[in-house]
């Protein structure tokens, strides 16, 4: 590949995401959003989740951010309080802007283990109360590019000259890279953005070619100054990782579970809105998901 970056970013922190329980009987490897890394502006949570029925994430609300669900194996059925329903299968993407409010369930759709990634991206104060919106892309329509032993699926942003159609309210890039043994990648990242890598499979060398290889389920925070990422697969197996970057919002964050606002007053208001079914939660009053009844919660 030609030299597209001048100042490669280096790895400044490394976290191993260990499995923990979440939802009802589900398991997540949480990297961003855990105690040691509460927030990586604008990213609130990164979960590599694993669910097998009967288990999942029954009826729950969101306000003030976006959830991005990207399936790796199997399928998840989601259902919301406005009647929006669908199944996300391996390679499919759901970019959900919760805005002022969504109440939904996310439950396994097939036999065996369903796996995926869920990223929570914060919204700026002026976008927290916008109308909810979905952008759903099935696997065959996810933009892909390939070159010199590298394959990249472009969830958001641009790589190798190919752009994703996803609109990101908070400017974000989200790329799913697979590197064949012996290959090397370079990817520009806007200089002012925060960026991280999460390794899904295999082992890779990131930032500095003389550093040691890092294995699956590790989150790597990149330093804030460079203009891109360089990575190498010097192993004999393929390497798969995501590279995610976003423009920091630089705003105060007050989080109460699935509600993320700028102040405690706004959180108190949100709890009140949810309890009273007001200000965007109106349809929660008489709603219960079908899957929740099926699983007998
Ligand atoms: C949750 C609030 C939530 N990680 N990974 C509180 F929104 C959730 C939740 C999820 C989730 C759902 C999927 Cl499909 C994948 C996820 C958290 O729904 F578990 C808690 N405790
Ligand atoms: Fe959810």
Q: What is the pLDDT of residue 294?
A: 61
Phi, psi of 270 (to 5 degrees): -65, -45
Q: Taking the CA of residue 114 as centre, how many other CA atoms within 13 Å lie in the half-sphere pointing to its CB?
A: 29
What local confidence, expressed as pLDDT, does residue 293 receive?
A: 65
Atom of ligand 1 nearest to the CA of 61: 7
Q: Which residue has the least CA distance to atom 21 on ligand 1?
A: 23
In short, whether 69's Cβ falls inside 6 Å of ligand 1 is: yes
User: Which ligand has the minimum distance to the alpha carbon of residue 79?
Assistant: 2
Q: Is there an atom of ligand 1 within 6 Å of 22 CB? A: yes
Structure token digits, residue 104: 């939904």
Ligand 1: which residue has its CA nearest to atom 2? Answer: 258
Residue 257 CB–ligand 1 contact under 6 Å: yes
7 CA → ligand 2 middle, Å: 37
Q: Which residues of the chain are modeled with pLDDT < 70?
A: 1-3, 293-297
Q: Is the CB of 65 under 6 A from ligand 1?
A: no
Distance (angstroms) between ligand 1 centre and the Cα of 214 equals 27
Q: pLDDT tens for residues 98-151?
A: 999 999 999 999 889 999 999 999 999 999 999 999 999 999 999 999 999 999
Distance 144 CA to ligand 2 centre (A): 27
pLDDT at 1: 46
Query: In this predicted structure, what is the pLDDT of residue 52?
Result: 86
- Residue located nearest, by CA, to atom 14 of ligand 1: 106
Q: pTM score, two decimals? A: 0.97
Asked if 33 and 180 touch (Cβ cutoff 8 Å), the reply is no
Q: Whose CA is nearest to atom 20 of ligand 1?
A: 23
Counting from 1 in the atom list of ligand 1, the atom nearest the Cα of 106 is 14
The preferred substitution site among 23, 115, 117, 118 for testing ligand 1, maximizing ligand atoms within 8 Å of CB, is 23
What percent of the chain stands above pLDDT 70?
A: 97
């Amino acid at each position: 590949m030609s030299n597209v970056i001048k100042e490669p970013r280096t790895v400044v922190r490394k976290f191993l995401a260990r499995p923990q329980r979440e939802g009802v009987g589900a398991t997540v490897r949480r990297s961003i959003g855990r105690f040691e890394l509460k927030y990586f502006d604008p990213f609130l949570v990164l979960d590599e989740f694993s669910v097998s029925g009967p288990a999942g994430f029954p009826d729950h609300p969101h306000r003030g951010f976006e959830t991005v669900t990207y399936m790796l194996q199997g399928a998840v059925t989601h259902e919301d309080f406005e009647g929006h329903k669908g199944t996300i299968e391996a390679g499919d993407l759901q970019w959900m802007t919760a805005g002022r409010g969504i109440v939904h369930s996310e439950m396994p759709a097939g036999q065996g283990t369903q796996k995926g990634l869920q990223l929570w991206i914060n919204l700026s104060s002026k976008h927290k109360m916008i109308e909810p919106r979905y952008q759903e892309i099935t696997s065959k329509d996810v933009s892909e590019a390939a070159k010199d032993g590298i394959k990249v699926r472009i969830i958001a942003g641009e790589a190798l000259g190919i752009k994703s159609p996803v609109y990101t309210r908070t400017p974000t890039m989200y790329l799913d890279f697979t590197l064949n043994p012996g290959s090397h990648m370079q990817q520009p990242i806007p200089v002012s953005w925060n960026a991280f890598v999460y390794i899904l499979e295999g082992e890779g060398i990131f930032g500095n070619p003389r550093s040691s290889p890092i294995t699956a389920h590790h989150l790597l925070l990149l330093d804030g100054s460079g203009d891109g990422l360089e990575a190498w697969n010097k192993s004999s197996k393929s390497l798969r990782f995501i590279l995610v970057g976003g423009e920091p919002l630089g705003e105060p964050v007050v989080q109460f579970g699935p509600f993320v606002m700028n102040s405690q007053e706004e959180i108190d208001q949100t709890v009140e809105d949810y309890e009273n079914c007001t200000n965007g939660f109106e349809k929660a009053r008489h709603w219960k998901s079908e899957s929740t009844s099926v699983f007998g919660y």
